[in-house]
Structure 1
Amino acid sequence: MTILVTGSIGKISSRVASQLQSLSLPILVATRRSPSSIPFPAVTFDWVDKSTYEAPFKHDISAVFIVPPEIQEPAPYVNAFIDVAIAHGVKKYVLNAGTSAAKDGPFVGPVWSYLDTLATSKNIEFAVLRPTWFNENFSELQHQQTIKESSVFYSAAEDGKMPFIGADDIAAAGVAFLAGQKPYENKDHVLLGPQLLTHDEVAKVFSEALGREIRHERKDMQGMVKQYESVGLNALYANFLPYLEVTASQGSQEELFVAGLDETEKLLGRKGINFKDWVQREKSKGYWG
């Protein structure tokens, strides 16, 4: 039985695939790229091209890790694919979302709601991962370039505290379900790091680790849209991330942490990696000069 991992070799999908392989579990990565360019067994797949939906099921698929496409309304495509998967007997699904996701809310909300309905009508099992802000925002995403080139990063988060979490830990939570280590429970699972930090405190962690001053400079939401466009984020995320930063400045992520909603330790059997330890681990890899 093979586990299908959508999202190609994105930051979470690649880690899920790698961790599943390390457990000697058969995987298949769904990708728009040439399958031969993927360092895992792969199949050609495109969320917005329904003619590709049958291809993964030439394999005996037992579970699906769902990373929705980066479009405004992914649900019509994702839900249609879930229907195809169910027709091929697939009963287990892990949806990668975020702390801002809400059932029946925008973006992935209708996918979550559909899975909830199918749990009753089709007897499927599902888990929705709801991780907070990634450590890897600073190494693989929006802040890496400016830290490396100018020793600065920008945000609209002001003094908002965030429990940053590592992508390896997010992937491990997904693997806990896909590998059968944890029951799905047909619900969402909030994933937070073990420590609250402001962006100013993050800058201090980087300064100490890298031996040079790293600055956090504040911008308003519109300024951050322009900033993220300048470093190559697509329009969806260039507009959405600044909005989420503003909500974080108002305490959205701190509230989750203080309320004790984190399930990382429950799923992994350990706490997630501390941000300072993560920077120390990653600093020799050339991300930040």
Structure 2
Amino acid sequence: MTQNTAQRMTVVVTGASGRTGSRVAQAAEAAGLTVRAASRAQGFDWHDGSTWADVLRGADAAYLVYPSDVGAPDAAEAVGRLAREAVALGVRRLVLLSSRGEERALPTEEALRASGADWTVVRAAWFAQNFSEGPLVEGLRQSGELVFAGGEVQEPFVDLRDVADVVVKTLTEGDRYVGKALEVSGPRLLTFREAVAEIGRAAGRELTYTPVPAHQYGEQLAGFGVPPEEVAFLVELFESLLDGRNAYLSDGVREVLGREPRDFAEFANESAGAGVWKA
């Protein structure tokens, strides 16, 4: 796609104020695309179909990220409905963020494929930024301890900036990635214990990792006010997804971007320099 063509392309970015959507929006704007932010602040609500048409109408493409998880019980129905409405409104090019190794995500991916869209699925490994944004941060920042249900399994933590760059590249390469499921990961395997140790070195602090069973972590989530049905879903998700099935590298970043993915150490050093884990 030429730069002029990219500049004429309008992409709807769902979750535009969130962890992945904000980075996709930034990467899309940097590539010359016109970004139409879709979040509750802009009147878009995944749980209210009456809010969808105004956001989709007149756009060329859309990035879909479903809260709270692509494998949530209501995700397949919602993504399928939105995808069909998008196609009906002329927005055929859709890219869905999915989760690598998550069997519960497969119905949502299938709903996208069945919509008639020109689809691409980007299956991401565990985000490096889960350590710097979201519920895992406070423990590291306040007590110097990460208590989590990650056991001692290895994960190829992927930088969200790489995920965003891959999403935008798939949107601006015409039909090259239509009908494909791309898997993206970081360049090396780390356990959660090793990842926390790297964060500690970067932050100049003694940080520790304490693995706990998924149900015990679920009790902590319930104590934080997470609804019981969401706790039950997350416990089952962690029990399955964090069983070692993702202890391998994927070459999606290299395939799409023509370069190596960002290393976890780069993420840790940059985040520490920004003061993310200061007590």
Shift, 1:282, TM fit? 1.0
In terms of mean alpha carbon deviation, does 236-245 or 45-54 score higher? Answer: 236-245
Aligned match of 1:137 in 118, 125, 130? 130
2:37 matched residue in structure 1: 29
Aligned match of 1:14 in 22, 29, 41? 22
- Contact 2:199–2:272, Cα closer than 8 Å, also in 1: no
1:283 matched residue in structure 2: 272
> What TM-score do you get using the length of structure 2 for normalisation?
0.87
1:54 matched residue in structure 2: 53
Change (3 A) 1:11 1:55: same
Change (3 A) 1:18 1:195: same
**Per-residue displacement from partner, 1:228-276 (whole Å, max 9, x unpaired)?**
344566656644444444445532111x42xxx4312111221211111
2: CA distance between counterparts of 1:94 and 1:3? Answer: 10
> Which runs of at least 4 in structure 1 moved beyond 6 Å after TM superposition?
none
2:6 matched residue in structure 1: none
**Per-residue displacement from partner, 1:50-86 (whole Å, max 9, x unpaired)?**
211221244x211111112335312222212212211
Shift, 1:89, TM fit? 1.6
Change (3 A) 1:251 1:57: closer
> What TM-score do you get using the length of structure 1 for normalisation?
0.84
1:113 matched residue in structure 2: 110
1: CA distance between counterparts of 2:34 and 2:53? Answer: 19
Q: Which one-letter code corresponds to 1:193 in the other structure?
A: G
- Contact 1:162–1:248, Cα closer than 8 Å, also in 2: no
Matched, 1:274 2:263: yes
SS of residue paired to 2:32: coil
Alignment size in residue pairs: 267
- Contact 1:8–1:32, Cα closer than 8 Å, also in 2: no
2: CA distance between counterparts of 1:158 and 1:172? Answer: 30
Change (3 A) 1:204 1:181: farther
1: CA distance between counterparts of 2:134 and 2:127? Answer: 9
RMSD: 2.2
- Contact 1:160–1:250, Cα closer than 8 Å, also in 2: yes
1: CA distance between counterparts of 2:227 and 2:260? Answer: 32
2: CA distance between counterparts of 1:208 and 1:199? Answer: 14
- 1:1-289 → structure 2 map (5 Å cutoff): 1-33=9-41, 35=42, 44-58=43-57, 60-70=58-68, 72-102=73-103, 106=104, 108-118=105-115, 122=116, 124-180=117-173, 183-230=176-223, 238-247=231-240, 250-254=243-247, 256-257=248-249, 261-289=250-278
SS of residue paired to 1:69: coil
- Contact 2:203–2:273, Cα closer than 8 Å, also in 1: no
Q: Among all aligned residue pairs of Structure 1 and Structure 2, give the percentage whose two residues are the same amino acid.
A: 27
